[in-house]
């Protein structure tokens, strides 16, 4: 573009501005004229309670329909109250209203698109704000309903989970009690104790240690964890213990009470029936003795009980016996056993039977 072209462009703009300065904005419902569109809009709002901007927004009027609307009102001269009642553009949709009624109508220069772009503008008495408010309220209501449903669902889940957890916990307690009951019942019969007492290596090892170490037991308070027939309690009493408490959760405890009495050691030994973990001791003890070993040393699972007693019932400088043990392993091969168990299990028929 040349500089002369530029200059002529600018002069065109200036002339247009001068022209529009002479134009007047004519009211839609009277002969009143105004210097600016805004003044004219303000007049219609004050005098006829007609907010043209809000009306444009409400009916979503675009540029063409705006031109048609202005010309329609100027041509047909409807009452302001009728215009305000309009809910659609149907009355001024005809193309004939594109034809200006007032020559150089300043109102036709109003930028409708700009109004829509700025529709975040808050109109206090227009429909735009009310529409937005209604939509927002509806959304809030839907969100509240959805929240209520979610809370109900969560409550249902919580109840179901609680039911399932309680059920599982109950099952575990029942299983634990049944397992424990079975275990202690197996020690209630004298047969098993007879077998243990007859195990010479076992019984004599304990006897030798206790009887040959009176300095450990002299005047000591001794706890015999899982006393059974009370054999270790009686050995401890013989070795000089001041007080011995023997505890066993199996019914053999009742026989132990008789045995202690018959051996006239009831002034030293007290037998209690119950779980060592639940025992209520007036004071801590100096020595803990226990025969807790099972097959493969740990099979009885009684070591935990003894360690519990050590941690909770033993004086800080107290002693626990036995205090050492070891497991020895040796490899062996048994072809016959391997054939009958492992190989059989690997055959599909066999594995199905085993399942």
Ligand X SMILES: C[S@@+](CC[C@H](N)C(=O)[O-])C[C@H]1O[C@@H](n2cnc3c(N)ncnc32)[C@H](O)[C@@H]1O
Residues binding ligand X (CB under 6 A):
184, 187, 193, 196, 226-229, 231-232, 247-250, 252, 275-277, 291, 302, 305
Which CB, 139 or 261, lies closer to ligand X?
Answer: 261
Which tokens is 232 given? 């270790």
d(CA 317, CA 327): 27
User: Nearest approach, Cβ of 151 to ligand X (angstroms)?
Assistant: 47
Candidates 21, 38, 300, 339; catalytic one: 300
Which CB, 52 or 272, lies closer to ligand X?
Answer: 272
DSSP 3-state of 80: helix
d(CA 234, CA 276): 18
Which CB, 75 or 275, lies closer to ligand X?
Answer: 275
DSSP per position, 106-140 = GGGG--HHHHHHTTTS--SSSHHHHHHHHHHHHHH
Which CB, 248 or 286, lies closer to ligand X?
Answer: 248
Respond yes or no: is residue 181 known to be catalytic: no
User: Nearest approach, Cβ of 299 to ligand X (angstroms)?
Assistant: 10
DSSP per position, 291-344 = ---BTTBTTT--HHHHHHHHHHHEEEEEEEES------------HHHHIIIIIH
Q: Is 228 left (phi over 0), alpha (psi -120 to 50) or beta?
A: left
User: Nearest approach, Cβ of 283 to ligand X (angstroms)?
Assistant: 19
Closest residue to ligand X: CB criterion: 226
Residue from 187, 242, 192, 200 nearest 217 by CA: 242
d(CA 28, CA 75): 10
User: Nearest approach, Cβ of 173 to ligand X (angstroms)?
Assistant: 17
User: Nearest approach, Cβ of 247 to ligand X (angstroms)?
Assistant: 5
225 contacts 292 by C-beta, under 8 angstroms: yes
Neighbouring CB atoms inside 10 A of 317's CB total 6
Which CB, 247 or 269, lies closer to ligand X?
Answer: 247
DSSP per position, 131-191 = HHHHHHHHHHHHHHHHHHHHHHHHHHHHHHHHHHHHHHHHHHHHHHHHHHHHHHHHTTSHH
Respond yes or no: is residue 336 known to be catalytic: no
User: Nearest approach, Cβ of 181 to ligand X (angstroms)?
Assistant: 11
Neighbouring CB atoms inside 10 A of 140's CB total 10
Candidates 114, 194, 291, 339; catalytic one: 291
Which CB, 311 or 336, lies closer to ligand X?
Answer: 311
Q: Which sequence positions are flagged as catalytic?
A: 291, 300
């Amino acid at each position: 573009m040349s500089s002369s072209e530029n200059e002529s462009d600018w002069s065109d703009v200036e002339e247009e501005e001068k022209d529009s300065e002479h134009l007047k904005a004519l009211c839609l419902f009277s002969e009143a004229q105004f210097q600016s569109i805004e003044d004219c809009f303000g007049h219609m709002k004050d005098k006829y309670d007609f907010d043209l901007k809000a009306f444009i927004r409400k009916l979503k009027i675009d540029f063409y329909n705006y031109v048609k609307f202005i010309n329609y009102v100027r041509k047909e001269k409807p009452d302001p109250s009728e215009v305000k009642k309009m809910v659609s553009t149907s009355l001024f949709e005809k193309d004939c209203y594109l034809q200006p009624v007032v020559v150089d109508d300043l109102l036709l220069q109003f930028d409708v698109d700009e109004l829509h772009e700025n529709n975040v503008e808050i109109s206090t008495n227009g429909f735009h704000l009310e529409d937005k408010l209604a939509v927002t309220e509806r959304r809030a209501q839907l969100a509240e309903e959805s929240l209520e449903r979610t809370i109900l669902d969560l409550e249902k889940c919580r109840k179901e989970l609680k039911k399932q957890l309680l059920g599982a916990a109950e099952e575990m307690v029942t299983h634990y009690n049944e397992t424990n009951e079975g275990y202690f019942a197996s020690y209630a019969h004298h047969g098993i104790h007879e077998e243990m007492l007859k195990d010479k290596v076992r019984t004599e090892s304990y006897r030798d240690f206790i009887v040959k170490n009176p300095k450990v037991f002299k005047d000591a308070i001794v706890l015999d964890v899982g006393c059974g027939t009370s054999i270790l309690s009686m050995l401890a009493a013989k070795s000089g213990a001041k007080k011995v408490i023997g505890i066993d959760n199996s019914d053999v405890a009742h026989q132990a009470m008789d045995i202690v009495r018959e051996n006239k050691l009831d002034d030293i030994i007290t037998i209690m029936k119950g779980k060592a973990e639940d025992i209520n001791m007036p004071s801590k003890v100096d020595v803990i003795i226990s025969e807790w070993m099972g097959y493969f040393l740990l099979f009885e699972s009684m070591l935990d009980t003894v360690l519990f007693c050590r941690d909770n019932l033993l004086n800080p400088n107290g002693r626990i016996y036995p205090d050492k043990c070891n497991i020895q392993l040796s490899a062996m091969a048994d072809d016959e056993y391997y054939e009958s168990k492992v190989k059989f299990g690997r055959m599909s028929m066999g594995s199905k039977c085993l399942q």
